Structure 1
Amino acid sequence: MKTALLMALVLSGAVHVSVHAAAPDAYQPKPYVQFQHAEWTKNASIYQINTRQFTPEGSFRAAERELPRLKALGVDILWLMPIHPIGQAKRKGTLGSPYAVRDYLAVNPEFGTLDDFKHFVAAAHAQGLHVILDWVGNHTSWDNVLRTSHPEWYEKDRKGQPHPTPWYDWDDIIDLDYQQPGLRRYMTDAMRFWVREAGVDGYRVDAAGLTPLDFWEHAAAELRAIKPVFLLAEWESRDMHARAFDATYAWTWWEGLRAVAEGKADATSLYTYYAWNQKFYPKQAYRMLYTTNHDKNAWDGTEFEIFGPAVDAAIVFSFVSEGIPLIYNGQEAGNRKRLAFFERDALQWQASPYTALYTKLLAMKKQHSALWNGDWGATMEQVPNDAPKQIFSFVRQNADDKVFAVFNLSGQPVQAGFRDDLHVGRYRDFSTEALVQVDGGTRFEMAPWSYKILTKAE
């Protein structure tokens, strides 16, 4: 009754309602990403080094000899798997998992000394390369040095004992407790140590989402106060990009492309990933694209096992799609071996046409600004075609550059025609280097699992 009376008085003008205007900037859009990417990441690609398997010696000094070759290949960021001593307690295999860290401030003697590592980083910098370390923040080995000095920094089970990450078969590690302020300070200082003392340029963070995001945001700010760093999260959450990480894994891209290669889905199934990538993730976000990495190679199979006849198209796709591409060591040599995870299993280096393919892809990414990372590059725009279940086609363009990409993501030959005029232009063919004029009537004969990449002609 009182509410009805009040409304009547308001409508009659007997009661005046005062509306307080919001501050002028209350309705202004605010940037989601609160930090700047290092400029040297704008057209960068990542090369992952499994130090144990990278050379016959499995050492930093041996890996250092490969730096001129990696520079010539065209990579920019070298990601080294964990370099720290590995726990002895409950060790898996002979040498154990690099992700069961015994001491965050020391170097695994299997690889060399701290001075050897510093020498590697300095030599990489001399080549114009950047080095990031694999950081394992969620858990340690059972015999990590912190078990003695700070047992309170570990999560406890119902019996009051440290425990592995629930549900996984990670029984060689135990979880840390990030409710402990002392642990947060220690971990941040340890990460700062490797940036200050060894000159590393950032981190790939293992299982990043299993550690509270506010920790990573604080640690990232402290690292960036030292110098511009690159931070890659092994996770796929948008929130990782706001204040902490430059890049996240594009797990769903890999899974989607695998389903297409296995014939379980068609090209249109990738639309969901790209819709989310464009509308849900900030434009500044780098999504890491890959056909394999240390986990996929060891546990799922090589890229040749996983993608079969689609492997070349998948590799090329990872370079022309929006994202920062990854090469796992040995891919440029066409490695077809699953590398052992807990033992020495050195790569067999050999001449391979994949060396030329990766060299050419890396050069194209650097030369064509439309393909650069995050908002340095251009958004993918769909080019409608008349065989959408088989053909995936798009353009990436900015004021200075344009790339038209067409993939036949099927095991059948397809003649592809296109609608609208987004794709029209004069190009150079990535594969043949021939000049190509594309107009509204252009059609492409696409072999099974083939691609055509056209870059703006000068």
Structure 2
Amino acid sequence: MKKLPVLLLAIVMVFSCKQEKSAKQVSSKVETVETETAQLEPISDSIMETAVIYEANIRQYSPEGTFDAFTKDIPQLKQLGVKVIWLMPVFPISETKRKATGGENSKFASDFPEEEQSKYLGSYYAVSDFTKINPEFGTIEDFRELVAQAHENGIYVILDWVPNHTGWDHTWIKNHPDYYTQNEAGEIIHPKDTDWTDVADLNYDNQDMRKEMIADMEYWITNENIDGFRCDVAGSVPTDFWEQAIPELRKQKDIFMLAEAWEPELLKGNLFDMAYAWDGHHLLNSLAKQEKSLKDFKTYIDKVSNDYEANDILMNFVTNHDENSWNGTVKERMGKASEVMTALTYVLPGMPLIYSGQEYDLDHRLKFFEKDSFPKNKGNTWKLLEQLGVLKQTNDAINGGKNPASFKILETSNVNILKIEREKNGKKLVFIANISDAVQTEKNTLVGTFLDYMADKTVDFKADETIALQPWEYKILIK
């Protein structure tokens, strides 16, 4: 996005003159950022430094549940700093063993009276054909328009790929039963130790299956110009498959690869670019409930430093499709700590995720196997994500890609106060937060004039003065 440096220059000039500018004015600047050409430059490490990723649940994003309904809103996403759209699976869903409910006592659509069965749309992850489009969402032409609109707005598109299993209607079931895991009786089985009874487990000992899987992935790169994949339960697939597949995929195009996994080995070499910060997500939930402390946060940061290499990227999030549907909304899980935890996903090294509806204050658990939707009213969360998106795009101190800004937890006099310092290219940012539901005070160690970014005003700090933070209050301070 070639006009972005102009925005950065404008913001820097405002800060240096100590003039105040409202968040609304900053937002209007973002709206003027335009891609000057429909030819999107190849995805690169430098672009990912400032990226926000958006998970699009096409079925539930709108009352229509179509590509077209989502496509028209893509230009708004760049206001939030979105540079990658991850589309939940867009493929046809198997009719056989189509699920109607989840959990250990889940039921199939066929378990219900015939007149009720049509409302059960099944799991996106029970794929019947990896090279076709789910007619529920529209046509291949509609899909192509979505990709084109994203590219015209400087946004890359990655597909949610399901390599571990297929639905029971997939042609491989009939034509290549040897592609699947079988029991002693020669029967194809669902993935072991799961309740995923609506899918059949793939056998990665079969080299022919591997070749077909790679060919199907290449199809979307070469024929439909997509920019990479988010790979479902990537850690349940042998790592040597990824060592075989990803180099072949990268021969076709520069792509971005996201693993739904935590295993560090999946980020080695030229394999996946980003993995899930699952431990970090669970920690944020526990901090919000005050079940864990900032001592646990420090332990987590140390573990990340030990387990991952400096150029590994982790995806930070307060919600996603699984968390929302099965464990609750952000407000349910985090309550009044929701905003500070969301801000932390931007301040931590890595890439922040926005899930469909989160930007519109999604306040209910979206149904997983049936049609659902949410109202699109731009409230507090939209404003929050817009401000954080501008910061992510314009301040090197929260670069989160393969060349991230430095990260340091600063010492405090209060065990409930978190203070983080990040710095890169002469840019410095301090995040200070009260991680508790009570007022906390801290003996200040900052000296000088800072921009209080979220309040959009300058503040002066003097040595040894005492500062007070309200429950769950935080500040992003820019020197």
TM-score between both structures, scaled by the size of structure 2: 0.85
CA distance in 1, matches of 2:328, 2:386: 24
Distance 1:426 1:377, change over 3 A: farther
**Is 1:50–2:71 an aligned residue pair?**
no
**Is 1:452–2:475 an aligned residue pair?**
yes
- Paired residue type of 2:440: V
**Is 1:230–2:253 an aligned residue pair?**
no
Match of 1:327 among 344, 354, 376: 354
- Paired residue type of 1:252: D
Alignment of 1:110-189 (within 5 A): 110-189=136-215
CA distance in 2, matches of 1:219, 1:438: 54
**Is 1:40–2:47 an aligned residue pair?**
yes
Counterpart residue number, 2:236 = 210
Structure with higher RCO (Cα < 8 A, 6+ apart): 2
Distance 1:201 1:425, change over 3 A: farther
Is the partner of 2:322 in helix, strand or coil? helix
Counterpart residue number, 1:348 = 375
The answer on whether the counterparts of 1:132 and 1:202 sit within 8 Å (CA) in structure 2 is yes
Counterpart residue number, 2:303 = 276
Match of 1:75 among 56, 77, 82: 82
- Paired residue type of 1:63: F
The answer on whether the counterparts of 1:266 and 1:410 sit within 8 Å (CA) in structure 2 is no
The answer on whether the counterparts of 1:82 and 1:135 sit within 8 Å (CA) in structure 2 is yes
Counterpart residue number, 2:95 = 88
Is the partner of 1:198 in helix, strand or coil? coil
**Is 1:382–2:409 an aligned residue pair?**
yes
**Is 1:429–2:429 an aligned residue pair?**
no
The answer on whether the counterparts of 1:41 and 1:230 sit within 8 Å (CA) in structure 2 is no
CA distance in 2, matches of 1:387, 1:189: 56
CA distance in 2, matches of 1:384, 1:73: 32
What's the offset of the Cα at 1:265?
Answer: 1.4
Counterpart residue number, 1:305 = 332
The answer on whether the counterparts of 1:139 and 1:173 sit within 8 Å (CA) in structure 2 is yes
**Is 1:63–2:70 an aligned residue pair?**
yes
The answer on whether the counterparts of 2:431 and 2:477 sit within 8 Å (CA) in structure 1 is yes
RMSD between aligned alpha carbons?
1.5
CA distance in 2, matches of 1:380, 1:425: 21
Q: Deviations over 1:336-366 (max 9, x none)?
A: 0110000110122123121111011011011
- Paired residue type of 1:405: F
Counterpart residue number, 2:227 = 201
The answer on whether the counterparts of 1:384 and 1:418 sit within 8 Å (CA) in structure 2 is no
CA distance in 2, matches of 1:184, 1:426: 58
What's the offset of the Cα at 1:436?
Answer: 2.6
The answer on whether the counterparts of 2:447 and 2:461 sit within 8 Å (CA) in structure 1 is yes
Alignment of 1:356-375 (within 5 A): 356-375=383-402
Higher alpha-carbon Rg: 1
Distance 1:38 1:220, change over 3 A: farther
The answer on whether the counterparts of 1:394 and 1:404 sit within 8 Å (CA) in structure 2 is yes
Match of 1:249 among 262, 270, 276: 276
Distance 1:226 1:438, change over 3 A: farther
Distance 1:211 1:432, change over 3 A: same
CA distance in 1, matches of 2:45, 2:51: 10
CA distance in 2, matches of 1:443, 1:152: 69
CA distance in 2, matches of 1:112, 1:444: 55
Unmatched tracts of structure 2, length 5 or more: 1-42, 101-119
The answer on whether the counterparts of 1:369 and 1:376 sit within 8 Å (CA) in structure 2 is no
The answer on whether the counterparts of 2:397 and 2:424 sit within 8 Å (CA) in structure 1 is yes
The answer on whether the counterparts of 1:291 and 1:315 sit within 8 Å (CA) in structure 2 is yes
Runs of 4+ in 1 over 6 A off after TM superposition: none
The answer on whether the counterparts of 1:60 and 1:120 sit within 8 Å (CA) in structure 2 is yes
The answer on whether the counterparts of 2:204 and 2:237 sit within 8 Å (CA) in structure 1 is yes
CA distance in 2, matches of 1:430, 1:191: 43
- Paired residue type of 1:262: K
Counterpart residue number, 1:401 = 427
Aligned pair count reads 417
